[in-house]
Amino acid sequence: MTSRERVFAAMAQQQADRVPVGFWFHFTGEKTRGQACVQAHLDYYNHSDVDVVKIMCDGYFDYPNPVAKAVKKPSDWYALKPLGPDSPFITQQVERAKAVRKGLRRDMCVLYNVFAPFSYLRFGTSDALVMAHLKEDPAAVQYALDVVAQDAATLSRLLITQAGVDGLYYCLQGGELARFTAQQYRSWIAPGDLAVLNHANVYSQRNVLHLCGWAGEQNRLEIWRDYPACVVNWAVFVENMDLKRGREYFHHKTVLGGFDNRPGGVLCCGTKEDVMRQTHQVIDQAGPVGLILGADCTLPADIDPQRLNWVAQAAAEHR
């Protein structure tokens, strides 16, 4: 099987020749933009044994809307308008994805990292500002989230239809226990999440949910439990929910994960034998069907890619 066929089989919960593997990390410095970023992706993926390409949106975290950056009071959000499909924020990311896809030397499953509207809005302004305005005037912030969702939906559609990616790696944040109640999240944040995801699902049924544990705090996983996606990835070592239990919790969807991404974990610091042993343990515990081996989140940028090849080697040897 090709890597792409292997991943598609896992997404469809069909038997593959081995469990597929996907690991990624952020690029820094000059590698966050332009051809240097494209080449950084190709240098990694064309010289590794992983099966999933996750193209990073490094350099495009901030929602670059000048109106958003000028917001002072909640009512200012109502002046926000979508950037539109011709904005550099969208066109440059589509070109990045297209170039990476074209430069791959083998047939691999390609995903692109898209953030949910709540994250884009906070990155483009500040977490403190958005949270303060939500408490003061949630309707004004919901209006802004709807505008951002329109741009994120456009980006998602063009990534799939023009750049040729197989689906989104859709990053959801803001579910920390101390941030919102479940009711608040579902009322204020979820509509924007779902506007983008539902639009992407029109163009691809191979979208992956990433339930980000970036803060190192547990999330209210119930707020995302019923989101429509093919694969679910969560922070196993933050949420204290292993892949077997998580598969049941998320309605028996395909699961991605099994490894701790944090420095000090087996993947980052263990011996080859340690890494291969954990690979076998994850497969035995979760089962080989409907599984993509990966990590809780992005790996340290300085990790030796050979470590990730050990996981693929162990997966190929697993019986």
Query: Which fold is adopted by the domain 3-317?
Result: TIM Barrel (3.20.20)
Model confidence, pTM: 0.97
Instruction: Give the type of residue at 190.
Output: A
Residue 242: partners with Cβ closer than 8 Å, 6 or more residues away: 236, 285, 286
Report the candidate in 311, 220, 209 with the shortest Cα–Cα distance to residue 255.
209
Spatial contact of 208 and 230, defined as CB atoms under 8 Å apart: yes
Express each pLDDT in 55-99 by its tens digit.
999 999 999 999 999 999 999 999 999 999 999 999 999 999 999
SS3 call for 244 = helix
Alpha-carbon distance 319 to 198, whole Å?
38
Tell me the H-state helices in 33-87. Answer: 34-45, 66-69
Express each pLDDT in 149-167 by its tens digit.
999 999 999 999 999 999 9
Tokens 């820094």: give the residue.
28
Q: If you average pLDDT over residues 186-191, what whole number do you get?
A: 98
Instruction: Give the type of residue at 181.
Output: T
The residue ranges of every structural domain in the chain are 3-317
Percent of the chain, pLDDT > 90? Answer: 98
Strand partners, 112: 55, 168
Task: Tell me the DSSP string of 214-238.
Answer: TTSS-B-GGGTTT---SEEEE-HHH
SS3 call for 251 = coil
DSSP at 121: H
Distance of CA 252 to the CA centre of its chain: 19
How many residues in total does the chain contain? 319
Between 101-110, 149-158, 181-190, 211-220, the lowest mean confidence (pLDDT) is in: 211-220
